[in-house]
Amino acid sequence: MIMMNVSLIAVGKLKESYWRDACAEYEKRLSAFCRFRIVELPETRLPERPSQAQIDAALAEEGKRILSAAGGACLVSLCIEGKELSSEELAARLRDLPVRGISNLAFCIGSSFGLSPEVKNASSLKLSFSPMTFPHQLARVMLCEQVYRAFQIGANGKYHK
């Protein structure tokens, strides 16, 4: 079976070491299942109280960087209007990708203002963890954990209970 390439493309950096450590642990665990990498892109600087036009321009700029970093991979965007999936449903979708000839997957997490419409429109799946709002740093750790859980489910591993 072909090993998948899975990227997590995120706008902004993880500031606290405990978030970085958590992501690094899942990155290490995921190496048994896929080639996993985290790509951090710079957040566009905005004034303290940006106008909607400034926000839209920043999202467009960040969106271009995201799409460039994805390099044609199958995109999954994390956004509030996305579809909520169970861990088993995410596992089934990941398991189905190689069958469909897809070996490159990129999950996208935008800045605090979200993702550009271009990125969302280019995505094969818009995913939401919950109608609740989470800090972007926590969302990144949660995504790493859920991707790891999905691969464990697909491999009938004992991690998922």
Domain range annotation of the chain: 17-154
Q: What is the mean pLDDT of residues 43-49?
A: 94
Name every residue whose Cβ is closer than 8 Å to that of residue 15 and which is 6 or more positions away in sequence: 137
Sign of CA dihedral 118, 77, 30, 6: negative
The phi, psi pair for 127, rounded to 5°, reads: -115, 140
Q: How many CA atoms lie within 13 A of 141 on its CB side?
A: 15
Q: What is the pLDDT of residues 87-138, one digit of tens each?
A: 999 999 999 999 999 999 999 999 989 999 999 999 999 999 998 888 889 9
Q: pLDDT-derived band of residue 161, with 50, 70 and 90 as boundaries?
A: low
| Contact status, residue 10 vs residue 40, Cβ threshold 8 Å | yes
Residue 130, token pair as written in the block: 């919950």
What pTM value is reported for the model? 0.94
Domain 17-154 classification at class level: alpha beta
What's the pLDDT score for residue 114? Answer: 94
Our CA angle for 119, 52, 143, nearest 5°, is: 40
Of 5, 31, 21, whose CA–CA distance to 94 is shortest? 5
